[in-house]
Structure 1
């Protein structure tokens, strides 16, 4: 089978690579994801991998020199690879190689090999496809494992025996699930069974590498596809046991609670229809993790999960630390949304005070819309009338909050009087009293005792200062 590369926007580059390889008596092939996506007619990736049955580093340098003598080539001698950027593309060149693995590492020992050896070491048949750029068979598809059929049938299959493939490099188990989720493919039965058997081997893979694959699953159109496969194969409890701890329905005296694990997956799918924000999707994934440790049953109230949002938000930090996820603003954003995830529901009442609405505005700040997106995604009832009722309730609360915001300007709240101004008023150095007065001003505004106005705040501070025994300067 010959692939017509003339219509491809990178055709000139391919001809150049072909010509330089021929001048230097080297073979050269396009391999991997670029070939897969080309055959699937997907949006072309911005990275292209080339294999030569000689030195990839030498070939990369020669091609870069031909394109532009000033092009910088990054060389990785240990892996026999070199890469450079050109026209918005990341071009990587590697010498064909054989690999062998030891029991306790996913880093292989490498030796020079043929194109066939190189294709054998690939993770899946759909990624083992190659297109020749050699003059004698330019454009020919080289497909020793019938990857083209697996593409057509939407199958994830390993080129070699799956148990060995996953044992050698356990990250491939995550990649199999990621491709199943992002391409909407099925993992071939023997391969799926092999992942179940080799799941424990994921422990030798760095958490950073695991999270790269996991976040790609989280950003897929329907993340539950990958999350279900991770649960089914035993990978999820090894990576995020806090999630699988939510599984199951208990019954006491005829009273049951919903399965919070499958509910969580529904919430993640729901939110994914409305946002590509990775960390908002993470907030949906973790919004109920506090329910397993707070679950209680008593005869009066049945099943309760009191304080699960607060505990869940505290669990987020340890979880992000363990998973090697960012511990800065992204983690704090997820913590905030988990902590506030039930607050809007509590405000669905005609008797809700303006102070409660102000506090939600103050606590959520610029993330209020994201919080509402999460709360709406949390509606997983299959009863359409109930669903409609919940959505109308949220719209009602949103309108009430909008009215309060227009009146009181609480969002992204900045105190109308600063600590420096209070110090100047009473001729004070930084002290405990300054903090007390600032907090009293904030509370008075949130409770509606004074408006968010500088003069009102100043008068209020003077009165409160008297109670602390302070005299105005």
Structure 2
């Protein structure tokens, strides 16, 4: 991507300016609306926070932050009406509101905590790199004061140094969520968290328990959509912040594994997350074919987030099921147990039902392909086995194999069998091709339905319908040429056998 310089520096006083052309990349009707409403209210208007940071970095802001001295809610309400946009009050007490126009957000805030100047307001922001502002001339609809960047906390120097530094010593106690946000910015920008800021997180990590699950989950969503989730989650673990958010993971530290692994359970979970990041970036480096299908799957909203959660929690059940059988470490049914532990986390973070179901399903099924891989080596994979896995995994068959590949790559102990990753890739080719090409068409065009069972056999709807139709489908995947007449004969035989067993 071509980088544009939006700043110039006066060497003696180190003042930087944004050129008026920086505004040209924004929707013109939004810039005009900000100016018109500002003129009506006769209040100074400032562009602030992340928008200014992005301009300094040569980026076009995806959203805007506006700051005015007072009356932010009234300003935002009028701005929304002018644009025909939605008005969303975020905090009536603090005077913060959002104007939503399509995918574009304008957050409007007033000077916080009784401050009376933009400099004092900026000094109460979360991080120095966000404590930046530029005054807006509502008459000329361009930057005021030649675009001088207001920078009371040397945030520009931290941008140059690629540092995330808390704006003031009480920044985290004022809003503990900012601790997660530090690592979210680290992931989004590929910067470092300042040493003093890291130490502040260590001292105050326990305060994160005051924050609602919804707010924590929202920050995690933003962190997990970056390309550096592993790096930031690891940083949160090093400061202890992660274990105040997800205490279930702490029991995985130091929990030994069999010789096929080189890391303890927690280290393995982090490594699985790192491997998933690599696979998501370049699936063609790990799978033989069908990478277009993988990319299509990953384009669906929230797929990366679900995969990253599944990676982090896939072995959580090992903390409960760990056992030593005559010197042999075992984790029987850790996949099943892990789902229960994850459901507690999902409830605490208020994850959606859809996310909870799909993440939990991948956790529950992550050992299934490994068992199937062993069967493939011994006897080959049967159509019936592919049917069962495909139906169980549903829309996440691709995601399940991405998780399994990452899980395999994350275990590199001396006792690991050779060729595991090659086997996973080959199994995925076999399962996905057969399920999509041969089995799904049979599911989509059943020979018999529940209505047929009622009309032809006078059966009463109930659990037996599922047993009959599922059993018939299992026969069809082996003998796809089966006719409707043969299907009726099969059901007739099935019913006879059922009667005999009663």
- TM bucket normalised to smaller: 0.7 to 0.9
- The answer for unaligned runs of 5 or more in structure 2 is 1-15, 138-142, 281-297
Alignment of 1:298-313 (within 5 A): 298-299=325-326, 302-313=328-339
Looking at structure 2, the residues matched to 466 and 157 of structure 1 have their Cα atoms a distance apart, in angstroms, of 75
Is 2:149 the partner of 1:141?
A: yes
Q: How many residues align?
A: 448
Alignment of 1:75-224 (within 5 A): 77-85=92-100, 89-98=104-113, 111=114, 113-134=116-137, 137-161=145-169, 164-224=170-230
User: Which residue is equivalent to 2:21?
Assistant: 6
Looking at structure 2, the residues matched to 82 and 238 of structure 1 have their Cα atoms a distance apart, in angstroms, of 30
Is 2:61 the partner of 1:34?
A: no
Higher relative contact order (CA 8 A, sep 6+): 2
Looking at structure 2, the residues matched to 24 and 245 of structure 1 have their Cα atoms a distance apart, in angstroms, of 57
Looking at structure 2, the residues matched to 86 and 359 of structure 1 have their Cα atoms a distance apart, in angstroms, of 45
- Deviation for aligned residue 1:469: 3.5
Report the secondary structure of 1:430's partner residue: coil
Looking at structure 1, the residues matched to 27 and 432 of structure 2 have their Cα atoms a distance apart, in angstroms, of 55
User: Which residue is equivalent to 2:10?
Assistant: none
Residues 27, 54 of structure 1: 8 Å contact kept: no
Greater CA drift, 30-39 or 448-457: 448-457
Greater CA drift, 179-188 or 124-133: 179-188
User: Which residue is equivalent to 1:56?
Assistant: 72
User: Which residue is equivalent to 1:240?
Assistant: 246
Greater CA drift, 266-275 or 20-29: 20-29
Is 2:321 the partner of 1:318?
A: no
Looking at structure 1, the residues matched to 381 and 76 of structure 2 have their Cα atoms a distance apart, in angstroms, of 68
Is 2:276 the partner of 1:260?
A: no
Residues 224, 265 of structure 1: 8 Å contact kept: yes
- Deviation for aligned residue 1:290: 1.3
Residues 53, 129 of structure 2: 8 Å contact kept: yes
Q: 1:372 aligns with which of 392, 401, 407?
A: 401
Residues 134, 144 of structure 2: 8 Å contact kept: no
Residues 28, 52 of structure 1: 8 Å contact kept: yes
User: Which residue is equivalent to 1:107?
Assistant: none
- Deviation for aligned residue 1:367: 2.4
Q: TM-score, normalised by structure 1?
A: 0.83
User: Which residue is equivalent to 1:333?
Assistant: 358
Looking at structure 2, the residues matched to 345 and 255 of structure 1 have their Cα atoms a distance apart, in angstroms, of 13
User: Which residue is equivalent to 1:102?
Assistant: none
Residues 387, 474 of structure 2: 8 Å contact kept: no
Looking at structure 1, the residues matched to 437 and 100 of structure 2 have their Cα atoms a distance apart, in angstroms, of 54
**1:334-371 Cα deviation digits (max 9, x unpaired):** 12211221222222314134133333233223322222
Looking at structure 2, the residues matched to 409 and 309 of structure 1 have their Cα atoms a distance apart, in angstroms, of 27
Report the secondary structure of 2:488's partner residue: helix
Report the secondary structure of 1:209's partner residue: helix
Greater CA drift, 357-366 or 263-272: 357-366
Is 2:452 the partner of 1:421?
A: yes
Looking at structure 2, the residues matched to 401 and 155 of structure 1 have their Cα atoms a distance apart, in angstroms, of 46
- Deviation for aligned residue 1:122: 0.3
- Deviation for aligned residue 1:139: 1.1
Over 3 Å counting, the alpha-carbon distance change for 1:410 and 1:25 in structure 2 is: closer
Q: 1:455 aligns with which of 453, 478, 485?
A: 485
The structure in which a higher percent of residues are helix is 2
User: Which residue is equivalent to 1:394?
Assistant: 424
User: Which residue is equivalent to 2:461?
Assistant: 430
User: Which residue is equivalent to 1:292?
Assistant: 319
Residues 135, 144 of structure 2: 8 Å contact kept: no
Looking at structure 1, the residues matched to 359 and 227 of structure 2 have their Cα atoms a distance apart, in angstroms, of 20
Report the secondary structure of 2:252's partner residue: coil
Q: TM-score, normalised by structure 2?
A: 0.79
Residues 366, 411 of structure 1: 8 Å contact kept: no
Looking at structure 1, the residues matched to 426 and 308 of structure 2 have their Cα atoms a distance apart, in angstroms, of 24
Report the secondary structure of 1:468's partner residue: helix
Over 3 Å counting, the alpha-carbon distance change for 1:165 and 1:453 in structure 2 is: farther
- Deviation for aligned residue 1:129: 0.6
- Deviation for aligned residue 1:16: 6.6
Residues 177, 216 of structure 2: 8 Å contact kept: yes
**1:16-60 Cα deviation digits (max 9, x unpaired):** 745764675422211111011111123422x21211224334544
Is 2:495 the partner of 1:468?
A: no
Over 3 Å counting, the alpha-carbon distance change for 1:412 and 1:205 in structure 2 is: farther
Report the secondary structure of 1:78's partner residue: coil
CA RMSD of aligned residues (A): 3.3
